[in-house]
Amino acid sequence: MTEYTLALALEDYIPVIFSSIGLFFISRMVGRVDGRLGQMATIGWLLITIGGLLKATWKLLMTLSNTQTDIVWMDKGMFVWMATGFTLVAFAVWFMSEARGGKQPQRVWLGPGAVLGLSLVAILFTGFPDPTVSTWRFILLGVMTIGNVVLVVLLIQQARRLGLNKMALLFLVNIIIVFILSGLARIPNQTIPLQWMEQLLNTFAQGAFAFAAWKLSLALTADRRPQTAGG
């Protein structure tokens, strides 16, 4: 079982906070374009934050109890919260892009409802919520990853349309680091130095995301003109 230090466990809250700040700005930005979509994005933001906080708290409890307190649902449940959250935020930003292009989004809950409904059916047939079964977690990890990637791609598009090329680059750096961390997490021997490297990379990635989201929110709020199909 992987071991953690107290400093490592406490530091794990920082990227969660950065990510939550960035998603707050995104949800507020979406809400200023369309109230319904803002509600969707806000729910997604809260779910992602809950998942991150529960995972960080699980790590802290494991540290304080010398790995004797393993609350499985706090650890494995992260996939449920985050897969749902990223799906909702990604769809909200997608529909916001359409609304800014002059289209009026219809039945906005149908798309995320279908994705999450199919995901639920899939995980129910793969052993959910048995923590010893990995299949359902891989399904949710896939949904979470796709939602995250789609969200960042959409944010990059919005940033470039507003001339925020540096912010678009920060969003790109964020998603690249996410994929790097995914590869590092597969290393069997998760030593303390390796975990520090992973967490510091994650902190930088989420800090970049929060800053870029803040700047994008400010710019998009100032530019309330509908966009043409050509951007």
Dihedral, CA atoms, 67, 72, 73, 77, nearest 10 degrees?
A: 90
More confident residue, 230 or 117: 117
Q: In terms of DSSP H, where are the helices of 65-102?
A: 72-76, 78-100
Give the per-residue pLDDT at 2. 66
Q: Can you tell me the mean pLDDT for 113-139?
A: 87
Q: CA triplet 12, 120, 110: central angle to 5 degrees?
A: 100
Among 1, 19, 11, 10, CA closest to 177: 19
Q: How confident is the model at residue 210 (pLDDT cuts 50, 70, 90)?
A: very high
The overall average pLDDT reported for the chain is 89
More confident residue, 24 or 71: 24
Q: Whole-angstrom Cα distance, residue 27 to residue 150?
A: 15
Q: Can you tell me the mean pLDDT for 193-208?
A: 94
Q: How confident is the model at residue 225 (pLDDT cuts 50, 70, 90)?
A: low
A 10 A CB-CB count for 208 gives 20
Q: Can you tell me the mean pLDDT for 89-115?
A: 90
More confident residue, 189 or 205: 205
CB 54 within 8 A of CB 33: no
CB 74 within 8 A of CB 66: no
146 is written with which tokens? Answer: 């796709």
Among 137, 145, 178, CA closest to 15: 178
Give the per-residue pLDDT at 111. 92
Give the per-residue pLDDT at 104. 82
Q: Whole-angstrom Cα distance, residue 210 to residue 155?
A: 12
Give the per-residue pLDDT at 224. 60
- Map out the domains of the chain with their CATH numbers: 6-222 (1.20.1070)
- Its pTM stands at 0.90
Percent of the chain predicted with pLDDT > 70: 95
CB 58 within 8 A of CB 74: yes
Q: How confident is the model at residue 103 (pLDDT cuts 50, 70, 90)?
A: confident
Q: CA triplet 66, 67, 70: central angle to 5 degrees?
A: 140
Q: Tens digit of pLDDT for each residue in 32-70?
A: 998 999 999 999 999 999 999 999 999 999 888 877 677
Q: Tens digit of pLDDT for each residue in 74-95?
A: 888 888 999 999 999 999 999 9
The CA–CA distances, whole Å, from 56 to 41, 63, 152 equal 23, 11, 23
CB 66 within 8 A of CB 135: no
Q: Is the dihedral of CA 207, 44, 134, 175 positive or negative?
A: negative
